[in-house]
Amino acid sequence: MRVVPAQPAAFSFEPARTALVIIDMQRDFLEPGGFGAALGNDVSLLQAIVPAVELLLALAREHDMLVIHTRESHLADLSDCPAAKHEVGTAGLRIGDPGPMGRILVRGEPGNQIIPSLSPIAGEWVIDKPGKGMFYATGLGDRLIAQGIEYLIFAGVTTEVCVQTSMREANDRGYRCLLIEEATESYFPAFKQATLEMIIAQGGIVGHTATLAAMVAALSEEQA
Ligand code: C5J
């Protein structure tokens, strides 16, 4: 077992039963000229976490942990996008509309790809999810059970939307969850801070949070 000093208490995990989950690090959310920027968001906030996520990804690969990448995406005919979701936002900048990097949040479009420095490699799972949470309508739950995964370490964007929803779904399913503070971000810094606080409230009601340094130390040789 590895032990990470964390909030609200230490987080223990067994790398062989752990997956690193990287939520929605897709070009449209992170790159200048993408959908996120077109909505008026400052994407430099999200870009700032890329080195931290790269480091986590390298660590997970080094320790033979399962790596799961998610993308928020929809089928080209939008049959998996309910009206309540499709109606959100400004006309012309809605899901399926032509955006600066192809059709917005549609599978296969350039903007829907994971940023190059975090590109999945063979053996890593890529989960296309039509919702905010990674379990809804993805089949991921059965795959995780089959793989014997018990612990999930989270990174990605945005903290209060797809990261938090996925953590809550995982928590309800009995997974032990840890979010790495420097490896997640929001377009709204106050929302990130609030999410970190609500995850660990009431004794860790949704899971744990830890710093990247604590995670690096936990995976160092000395603890092995
Ligand atoms: C949205 C996300 N839509 N990855 N997605 O905010 O958090």
- The token pair at 16 is 């062989």
Å from CA of 224 to ligand 1 middle: 36
Q: Quote the CA–CA distance of 19 and 104 in Å, as a whole number.
A: 28
- Nearest alpha-carbon partner for 162 in 197, 131, 124: 131
- With a cut of 70, say whether residue 203 has pLDDT above it: yes
- With a cut of 90, say whether residue 34 has pLDDT above it: no
pTM above 0.85, yes or no: yes
Q: Ligand 1 pocket, 164 CB below 6 A?
A: no
Mean pLDDT of the chain: 96
Q: Quote the CA–CA distance of 107 and 130 in Å, as a whole number.
A: 10
Q: 3-state secondary structure string, 134-192?
A: CCCCCCHHHHHHHHCCCEEEEEEECHHHHHHHHHHHHHHCCCEEEEEEEEEECCCHHHH
Tokens 């009995």 -> residue: 174
Instruction: Give per-residue pLDDT as tens, 75-121.
Output: 999 999 999 999 988 899 899 999 889 999 999 999 999 999 999 99
Q: Ligand 1 pocket, 162 CB below 6 A?
A: yes
Q: Quote the CA–CA distance of 140 and 7 in Å, as a whole number.
A: 27
Å from CA of 61 to ligand 1 middle: 25
Instruction: Give per-residue pLDDT as tens, 50-63.
Output: 999 999 999 999 99
Q: Quote the CA–CA distance of 53 and 22 in Å, as a whole number.
A: 8
Q: Ligand 1 pocket, 157 CB below 6 A?
A: yes
Active site residue 129: yes
Active site residue 177: no
Dihedral angle of Cα 205, 7, 222, 50, to the nearest 10 degrees: 90
- With a cut of 70, say whether residue 221 has pLDDT above it: no
Active site residue 162: yes
pLDDT of residue 113: 98
pLDDT of residue 15: 97
8 Å CB contact between 168 and 150: no
- The token pair at 35 is 């959908």
Atom of ligand 1 nearest to the CA of 29: 4
Q: Which of 39, 132, 164, 186 to mutate to test the pocket of ligand 1 (most atoms within 8 A of CB)?
A: 132
- With a cut of 80, say whether residue 125 has pLDDT above it: yes
Q: Ligand 1 pocket, 161 CB below 6 A?
A: yes
Atom of ligand 1 nearest to the CA of 156: 4
Q: Ligand 1 pocket, 158 CB below 6 A?
A: yes
Å from CA of 200 to ligand 1 middle: 21
β-strands 208-210, 125-129 pairing: unpaired
- 13 CB burial (10 A radius; 0-12, 13-18, 19+): buried
Instruction: Give per-residue pLDDT as tens, 169-194.
Output: 999 999 999 999 999 999 999 999 99
